[in-house]
Amino acid sequence: MTEQPSPEIHPAWLPSTAFRAIASRRVVVDGDGPLVDTVRDEVIRAGGILTAPGEPADLVLVSGGSSGSPHPSGPFGSFGSSGDGFSVSRRDGTTVVRADGPSGLLNGWFALARDVPPGRHDPALPLRVLDHWDNVDLHPVMGRVERGYAGGSLFWHDGALREDLSRVRDYARLLAASGINAVTINNVNVHATETRLLTDRRDEVAAIAAEFRRYGVRVHLSINFAAPVFLGDLPTADPLDDRVRAWWSRATARMFDTIPDFGGYLVKADSEGQPGPHTYHRTHADGANMLAEALAPFGAVVRWRAFVYDHRQDWRDRGTDRARAAHDHFVPLDGTFHDNVIVQVKYGPMDFQTREPISPVLLAMPRTNLAVELQATQEYTGQQKHICYLPPMWSAVLRSVRVRALAAVSNAGDDPFWTGHPLAQANLYAVGRLAWDPTLDPIAVLDEWITWTFPEARDVLHELMDDSWQTYERYTAPLGVGFMVRPGHHYGPDVDGYEYTPWGTYHFADRDGIGVDRTRATGTGFTAQYPQPLSDLYESRDTCPDELLLFFHHVPYTHVLHSGVTVIQHIYDTHFTGAARVAEMRHRFQKSADLFTPAVYARISALLDEQLRSAEEWRDQINTYFFRKSGIPDARHRRIH
Amino acid sequence: MTEQPSPEIHPAWLPSTAFRAIASRRVVVDGDGPLVDTVRDEVIRAGGILTAPGEPADLVLVSGGSSGSPHPSGPFGSFGSSGDGFSVSRRDGTTVVRADGPSGLLNGWFALARDVPPGRHDPALPLRVLDHWDNVDLHPVMGRVERGYAGGSLFWHDGALREDLSRVRDYARLLAASGINAVTINNVNVHATETRLLTDRRDEVAAIAAEFRRYGVRVHLSINFAAPVFLGDLPTADPLDDRVRAWWSRATARMFDTIPDFGGYLVKADSEGQPGPHTYHRTHADGANMLAEALAPFGAVVRWRAFVYDHRQDWRDRGTDRARAAHDHFVPLDGTFHDNVIVQVKYGPMDFQTREPISPVLLAMPRTNLAVELQATQEYTGQQKHICYLPPMWSAVLRSVRVRALAAVSNAGDDPFWTGHPLAQANLYAVGRLAWDPTLDPIAVLDEWITWTFPEARDVLHELMDDSWQTYERYTAPLGVGFMVRPGHHYGPDVDGYEYTPWGTYHFADRDGIGVDRTRATGTGFTAQYPQPLSDLYESRDTCPDELLLFFHHVPYTHVLHSGVTVIQHIYDTHFTGAARVAEMRHRFQKSADLFTPAVYARISALLDEQLRSAEEWRDQINTYFFRKSGIPDARHRRIH
């Protein structure tokens, strides 16, 4: 394969008009260092007139603090928080942005484009990171980007670093404008080639870091826990072995020699076949702390994923519950992780399903730095063929937890629209905004994104997107039971696809009922992992929210929901209305051709055709499956095949 | 990849002891030509003493007829029949084998090893062919051999012809000894590289043909119907276009320049995405006859597969029945195919399932040369991890039809035991023997193979293999309903795996019953494709054999079989007894280590472990699935999960 010339790249939320208010205005940029220079370049790009400090100006941007030391002091500095905040004031026709440091100045600059109100602005979370599951080598099963639906990687092509990194710079600018301050540039499943990014291929990491640095985004690396063995240097990767500890110290020091502002490591250990400390009868804390010690001198962090479970489960074993696994593994370790370890926890106890309860791990480790992990890439939520604006789901989780970081699996690739589906950009944008302020209204964030990206199409996009997550939920797996997707690629329906597999994802539907009994009283005891009042809330069918009923309870099809309908009728109703809603969305969009460029219209139009086909397939398979099983007809006599 | 040095290759049914009766005997070989020379070499290899005609001898082998003209006269000659037969007589201590020609002499020679009785011996079918689904290039999904479970290809390695073809020669010798007289050397799904075997890569075909020729086995090629377009020579592959016809004539003539005894073409057209005449609104007869005309001057044949159906079916469309497709497509064309066309028909109407009714096409085309197609490779029958001796199934079909040829998909590869599972050799051996004489008792054929291959282990192998097909059937899909395998790779259970896919393979199980209504009265009308009395036999639940009930009828779980038990109880009973039988087989085998070499014992032992694990998985998934659906408990209270 050779690199193809790029088609026209969509500007996403930074069109040329984003800073039109700056054109011909006098702007003072006061401060030193590369990020301050980036702000100066931005002013010039926007058509502003750079003016000396003290001269009359329409806009004054003042960077306080350091000029960008590569080693912010202490582990929390390393999270990226120092200097990210800024304040805005207006006086006598002059807008003044006063930042705590150069990164705050850049944040303030981009905030101007969305008419930030006067006052103090600080990020709620110091680390706001996008994790790319990009493979350097084409993977025979997972392709160029694992669970990627937006073409190839922005960084890698055909086994090597891309020659032209100009899109990486554009991407960094987009991310900075949304609030992101870190990026992990390779898949958490670290294969042979990718293992070497840590060592003999770290110049490639440095080349990418140089592009991101310009916009204050620090680069992180997914590492192979067994790298000392894998690279042939040592016979063991035991984290308590002195040779291993020395190996990681040296490798990390060399990384910082090459990239002084390197951000840290991301580790998937003892999970789905990846190596980890369990091989050596050590704990996750032993593994994470060893890496943390190697990183500590440089003020950097290790993120250690809590996504650990038995993926060789036997469906006949009713005593094992995958939902329990992360809590069982990690909560006993609370308080034993070093300060520069972040335990990174998926928002739900399973795996990025359309609807899950919040992970109890996020509520149970007060003495540990936690990150919540979201998935912007739509693995289980329509794979960027379906419109599914996810922040309403994310927002509920983010408002319920106290974490130090937000990590999201990126949905961006080398697609001209960045995210395959042009409207999936909104999920990417919202990651940064919600990481900056988790209390933001997700629909207001969507409105911001529309304002910057498709300002002509505000009404139609709200109609298509505001409730698109709920719509997707309606025509897919019901009432929180999850999965029911085709194994492997995870697109489209297959109700029993995972029912008898080793992955631990069940629905237990029989002729009488459906759902997983996770109660303390009669089930797997998962509800006991929650603090009160959640534990009792989920334990009782009477108080468990309808949308999570089948996650926590096995109930008859005739069980009456709080909504007043039976489970089976709810299944029929939501699947008919869900698919009908997609038909409406498609109809609505088709009347809006004049609001979009031909390329955008054509792409969205084709994807809505597929979304409708798929939604109807979901509707029909789910309805037929449950009609065959229950024998209960639709009370409204609609067609079930 | 580089070619590895071979481990020790198993001699299969030609161990060094096969011809021990010849050692030190005086043997006259009377005749001329390469195949007669092969017999002379065989005599020397066996330790016989070549003696001049007229001298006293213990064994006299006389070849009559031609010395092996590369162009036997007429199309039936081209099938390979001329000269294949021989007679055996004994007089005054001398055995005389008198053959119709050199190939008959070789057949007679190999027959001696199995104590052929005196009398006349002629093959029932003139063409006895193994079709290899071998890919030249590694296919990203299907690997080196499509549906291959015995390692890589004997012919191709890493995109090229193997450097060392000595195993091809050994393979040819084994095939000749079993009665096979032709081999197709590439996959019926003809990809880019393989298309060129017909043109610029035909020297590689010639190199393989040279090895097979030594043992009287002719080489056939799977061709790409769109080759004239694919290779860039023409804008069309329309079989009625004069340029296309001329292209095929020239390509075919060049093939015969290179390989004078080339056997012919095999074509999968308009099937599962392969190109064909339908693109040009022409019939299968138009396509096949065009190729037949190109081949006719050389006395060669085209085999045209009848495996044509809609693989983009919608499960919601109850009016389409994949079982009907081959008959619907081909029977109207009866009488329109040229004499050197053979329409090759799978034994059943679906796709090599463990139990299917005979294909009605095989009973409905009296004016067409037909081949029956079997599958020695165990795609749906345990993938050479399970012991499944198939000839009892094949035999029932072969005794019911009048065909000109038998074709079987080979189960051989570069595995040291040829077929992965050492006991799967028996299926390969039986293909040739049943093609020679379809009336042979399949257990007698097995006994022959054991005598040649594992003579010490006669008792245990009969215990393991005689009823192994019925055992496999017991623990897999019940009562002829078919499939219920994991989509894609087709190994292991997934009851609903194909239920909602485009492949047209359904069971329609609901809470009340299961099966496909293919009756004339209320179903798809498939039973009308059979002649009487079969049509009425299958039409009625009262007369339909139990083992095919769910292929033809949708019945309640409480329907009572001729065996006296209900359908649901039959499902439970057969699945418990099937898995228990495998446990018995494994136990029996484990007591027999002294009857096998360590390598054979180790391989079979490991595979029996896997067979038992898989059989228990089948038992439990099938039983749980139907218990969940029917709610009817096992009358014998065994454990259902």
DSSP string across B120-158: EE--S-SEEEEE--EEEEEETTTEEETT--SSS-SSEET
Show Cβ contacts of residue B332 under 8 Å, excluding neighbours closer than 6 positions.
Answer: none
Sheet holding B86-91, edge to edge: B49-51, B26-30, B59-63, B94-99, B86-91, B119-121
Q: Which of B3, B272, B314, B317 is catalytic?
A: B272
Identify the CA nearest to B371 among candidates B403, B414, B408, B419: B403
Q: What is the mean pLDDT of residues A582-588?
A: 98
HEC states along A267-305? ECCCCCCCCCHHHHCCCHHHHHHHHHHHHHHHCCEEEEE
- Residue extent(s) of CATH 3.20.20.80 domains in chain B: 128-313+328-455
Interstrand relation of A94-99 and A86-91 (parallel, antiparallel or unpaired): antiparallel
Question: CA of B497, closest CA in chain A: separation in Å?
Answer: 7
Q: What angle do CA A381, A346, A529 make, to 5 degrees?
A: 120
What is the per-residue DSSP string for B30-87? E--SHHHHHHHHHHHHTT-EEE-TTS--SEEEEE-S-S--SS-SHHHHHTT-TT--EE
Give residue A70's pLDDT band: very low, low, confident or very high (50, 70, 90).
very low
Residues on chain B touching A140 (C-beta within 8 angstroms): 140
Buried b (16+ CB within 10 A) or exposed e, B126-136: bbbbbbbbbbb
B628 touches chain A (CB under 8 A): yes
List the alpha helices (DSSP H) in A376-523. 391-398, 425-436, 442-453, 458-465, 468-475
Residues on chain A touching B510 (C-beta within 8 angstroms): 627-629, 631
Identify the CA nearest to B556 among candidates B631, B615, B486: B631
A84 in catalytic set? no
B194 in catalytic set? no
Residue A192's pLDDT is 95
Cα A354 from Cα B187, distance rounded (Å):
42
Length of chain A: 641
Give the pLDDT confidence of A126-182 residue by residue, as tens digits. 999 999 999 999 998 999 999 999 999 999 999 999 999 999 999 999 999 999 999
Residues on chain B touching A629 (C-beta within 8 angstroms): 510-511, 628-629
Q: Is omega for the bond preceding B533 within 30 degrees of 0, making it cis?
A: yes
Show Cβ contacts of residue B120 under 8 Å, excluding neighbours closer than 6 positions.
Answer: B85, B87
3-state helix, strand, coil in chain B (%, to 5): 40, 15, 45
Residue A115's pLDDT is 86
Question: CA of A627, closest CA in chain B: separation in Å?
Answer: 8
Question: CA of A464, closest CA in chain B: separation in Å?
Answer: 29
- Residue extent(s) of CATH 3.90.1330.10 domains in chain B: 473-515+554-630
Cα B557 from Cα B23, distance rounded (Å):
63
Helix (H, G, I), strand (E, B) or coil at A522: coil
Q: What is the mean pLDDT of residues B418-432?
A: 98
CB atoms within 10 A of CB A54: 9
Q: What's the CATH code, domain B473-515+554-630? A: 3.90.1330.10
Cα A1 from Cα A84, distance rounded (Å):
41
Q: Tell me, what DSSP letter sits at residue B189?
A: S
Only one residue has tokens 């698919």, namely A579
β-partners of residue B513 are: B556
CB atoms within 10 A of CB A197: 24
Cβ–Cβ gap B629/A629 under 8 Å: yes
How high is the mean pLDDT of chain B? 95
Cβ–Cβ gap B510/A631 under 8 Å: yes
HEC states along B299-316? CCEEEEECCCCCCCCCCC
Q: What is the reported pTM?
A: 0.93
Q: What is the mean pLDDT of residues A305-309?
A: 94
Q: What is the mean pLDDT of residues B593-601?
A: 97
Could you tell me the end-to-end alpha-carbon distance of chain B, in angstroms, rounded to an integer?
45
Helix (H, G, I), strand (E, B) or coil at A51: strand
ipTM for this prediction:
0.90
Residue A81's pLDDT is 52
Identify the CA nearest to B173 among candidates B16, B31, B14, B20: B14
**Contact predicate B419/B425, CB 8 Å:** yes
Token pair of B505 as six digits = 């393979």
- Residue extent(s) of CATH 3.30.379.10 domains in chain B: 20-121
Show Cβ contacts of residue A37 under 8 Å, excluding neighbours closer than 6 positions.
Answer: none
Give residue A6's pLDDT band: very low, low, confident or very high (50, 70, 90).
low
Q: What is the mean pLDDT of residues B574-583?
A: 98
3-state helix, strand, coil in chain A (%, to 5): 40, 15, 45
Token pair of A117 as six digits = 């109100």
CB pairs under 8 A between A and B: 52
Q: Which of A194, A204, A379, A539 is catalytic?
A: A379
Give residue A3's pLDDT band: very low, low, confident or very high (50, 70, 90).
very low
Question: Torsion-angle region of residue A298: left (phi > 0), alpha (psi -120 to 50) or beta?
Answer: alpha
Please give the residue that has the higher pLDDT: either B141 or B467.
Answer: B467
CB atoms within 10 A of CB A528: 15
CB atoms within 10 A of CB A526: 26
Residue B1's pLDDT is 40
Residues on chain A touching B627 (C-beta within 8 angstroms): 510
Only one residue has tokens 């060094």, namely B16
Identify the CA nearest to B266 among candidates B347, B188, B199: B188
B535 touches chain A (CB under 8 A): no
Picking from B138, B511, B554 by the largest number of A CB atoms within 10 A of its own CB, the best residue to mutate is B511
| Closest chain B CA to residue A317 | B641
Identify the CA nearest to B165 among candidates B14, B35, B408, B3: B3
Token pair of B424 as six digits = 């799967």
Q: What is the mean pLDDT of residues B335-353?
A: 98
B314 touches chain A (CB under 8 A): no
Q: Which of A316, A621, A631 sits opposite B512 (nearest CB)?
A: A631
B55 touches chain A (CB under 8 A): no
CA separation, residue B581 to residues A451, B235, B611 (Å): 69, 58, 11
Q: What's the CATH code, domain A127-313+321-466? A: 3.20.20.80
Cβ–Cβ gap B500/A494 under 8 Å: yes
**A369 phi/psi in degrees, rounded to 5:** -75, 125
Give residue B21's pLDDT band: very low, low, confident or very high (50, 70, 90).
very high
β-partners of residue A98 are: A62, A87
Sheet holding A26-30, edge to edge: A49-51, A26-30, A59-63, A94-99, A86-91, A119-121
- Residue extent(s) of CATH 3.20.20.80 domains in chain A: 127-313+321-466
CATH topology of domain B20-121: Chitobiase; domain 2 (3.30.379)
Q: What's the CATH code, domain B128-313+328-455? A: 3.20.20.80
A351 in catalytic set? yes
Q: What is the mean pLDDT of residues A429-449?
A: 98
B640 touches chain A (CB under 8 A): no
Give the pLDDT confidence of B260-318 residue by residue, as tens digits. 999 999 999 999 999 999 999 999 999 999 999 999 999 999 999 999 999 999 999 99
List the alpha helices (DSSP H) in A275-412. 284-295, 325-330, 391-398
* A residues 456..515 contacting B (CB < 8 A): 493-497, 500, 509-512
Q: What angle do CA A99, A101, A102 make, to 5 degrees?
A: 100
β-partners of residue B120 are: B87
Residue B447's pLDDT is 98
Interstrand relation of A264-267 and A119-121 (parallel, antiparallel or unpaired): unpaired
Give residue A75's pLDDT band: very low, low, confident or very high (50, 70, 90).
very low
Residues on chain A touching B628 (C-beta within 8 angstroms): 509-511, 629
**Contact predicate B516/B479, CB 8 Å:** no
Q: Is omega for the bond preceding B633 within 30 degrees of 0, making it cis?
A: no
**Contact predicate B222/B273, CB 8 Å:** no
B320 touches chain A (CB under 8 A): no
Which class does domain A473-516+554-630 fall in? alpha beta
Cα A568 from Cα A558, distance rounded (Å):
7
CA separation, residue B213 to residues B32, B37, B208, B256 (Å): 15, 12, 9, 14
Give residue B370's pLDDT band: very low, low, confident or very high (50, 70, 90).
very high
Give the pLDDT confidence of A352-411 residue by residue, as tens digits. 999 999 999 999 999 999 999 999 999 999 999 999 999 999 999 999 999 999 999 999
Q: What angle do CA B4, B5, B6 make, to 5 degrees?
A: 105
Q: Which of B316, B511, B628 sits opposite A620 (nearest CB)?
A: B316
Cα A133 from Cα A148, distance rounded (Å):
8
Q: Which of A3, A32, A164, A272 is catalytic?
A: A272
Cα A448 from Cα A426, distance rounded (Å):
9
Length of chain B: 641
CA separation, residue B128 to residues A504, A591, B178, B440 (Å): 49, 64, 10, 15
Cα A634 from Cα A575, distance rounded (Å):
11
